[in-house]
Amino acid sequence: MLSANITSASPWAWWQKFLFRFCCIYVLLYMTPWTWLSDIPILSLIGEYYGKAEEQLVNLANTYIFHVKDVLVPLNGSGDTSYGYAQLYFFILTATIGLILWTLFDKRKNYDTAYYWLLVLIRYYVAMVALRYGIIKLFGQQMIFPSLSALATPLGDLLPMRFSWYFIGYSTPYQFFSGAVEVLAGLLLLFRRTSTLGAFIAASVFLNVMMMNLCYDIPVKLFSIHLFLFSNLLLIGDGKRLLNFFVFNKPTEPTSHITLPQKWMRTTQIALKVAFAGLFLVMPLFGSYQRAFEVGDSPKTKKLTSGFFAVDQFKGNMADSLRWKDVVFEATNAGSIQTADTLFRQRYRRGYFSYALDSLKQTIAFKKFATDSTALFTLQYTMPDTNHIVLQGKIRNDSVIVGLKRQKRHFQLAERQFHWLSEANR
């Protein structure tokens, strides 16, 4: 048997057992701990087949029960798609059915031990997420400083999410601070003695994240709400002790915990914790460091130039709405054009593109995405000097000649101003 000071003979009330059964099923479905190691080649098969089975069940339930949308839009970096809501309803329905069946066949008086281990699982899940998002913020890789194309976009054209993204990405120290707090929460949650403090910090962090997502229409609302609720579930586990300390001014006893009786169990527990830290702390830190400082032998891609260019010549049979007004070449192999041409990725009244340069043939191949194998079109380029570019070729079988002239656009936001002494509002 497990030796523990958590075990109590006192039976749970019926509503406590109902809540635990429902939450246990729902939390396990949402966290899917059996897919946490999907980065490992062999274990990835578990996550792959589980994902396919879940997708079929969610789509089936949506077709006959939920009717969120005729064709569900899959999760694509946003957790608030139609599939995300159908998945949420499916989890709730499954947990409800599981609650009924569990209640019919299980007559035990309490779930003290199961509740303890469920909280441990939630603790590691919240730690995993906090570390993942905190580490990329430490290296400024989640929100980036506004690009030249973004600086050239009128403020009124930005959607709230993009506006908030640039707000955080503008300040590297602020983003680092945000990431450091998330990493601190994750680290504290890894150890039983500091888990309550870690849950406090995590609840505070994810409350802020949740409110930003809700107030700025950032499409990760469901995920952030769950993280906030999970963090509070950890605090509820210590609810009586916390109330005694903060509200009733009473002494508190040490938190209850389970001690594994066998040495091999304790050794396995330590090994699993070390493996968890390696997978979700050390490896992400190393990977983010490599990406931030470009460690390795990544091939250098050829770039044309960078800067803001006005279009001072545009010859072609294209409609006025498709004509180019200005062109931005970023420091990377990407850029944007002020045009309504849907041939490009349209965002905020600008057409975004990636490009591949052939300096021998003096051609520039415009692509919709950097990973595209085929180009939208390819133009010849000449640069009489560093301030002028001439592009010539065919777009949609229409011959065009585009003359670009560098403009010395000055964006105050790019200066990253800071003043201790401020005599007037700016």
User: N- to C-terminal Cα distance for the chain?
Assistant: 68
**Given this model, what pLDDT does residue 36 score?**
83
Tens place of pLDDT for every residue, the chain, 426 residues? 344 445 456 899 999 999 999 999 999 999 999 888 777 777 788 888 999 999 999 999 999 999 999 999 998 877 899 999 999 999 999 999 999 999 999 988 999 989 999 999 999 999 999 999 999 999 999 999 999 999 999 999 999 999 999 999 999 999 999 999 999 999 999 998 899 999 999 999 999 999 999 999 999 999 999 999 999 999 998 888 888 888 988 888 877 777 777 788 888 888 888 888 888 899 989 988 888 887 655 566 788 999 999 999 999 888 888 899 999 999 999 999 999 999 999 999 999 999 999 989 999 999 999 999 999 999 999 999 999 999 999 998 899 999 999 998 888 888 878 888 888 766
**Given this model, what pLDDT does residue 8 score?**
52
Q: What is the DSSP string of 4-25?
A: ES----PPPPHHHHHHHHHHHH
3-state class of 215 per DSSP?
helix
Determine the residue type at 204. Answer: S
CB 62 within 8 A of CB 86: yes
Q: What is the DSSP string of 60-122?
A: HHIIIII-S-SSPPPPSS-S-SHHHHHHHHHHHHHHHHHHHHHHHH---S--HHHHHHHHHHH
Alpha carbon dihedral 268, 274, 279, 282, in 10-degree steps, equals -170
Q: How far apart are CA 354 and CA 375, in angstroms?
A: 9
Q: How far apart are CA 256 and CA 233, in angstroms?
A: 16
Nearest to 18 by CA among 110, 83, 87: 110
**Given this model, what pLDDT does residue 1 score?**
34
Q: What backbone torsions phi and psi does residue 342 show, to the nearest 5 degrees? A: -75, 0
3-state class of 54 per DSSP?
helix
**Given this model, what pLDDT does residue 5 score?**
47
Q: How far apart are CA 351 and CA 311, in angstroms?
A: 15
CB 378 within 8 A of CB 393: yes
**Given this model, what pLDDT does residue 414 score?**
84
**Given this model, what pLDDT does residue 3 score?**
40
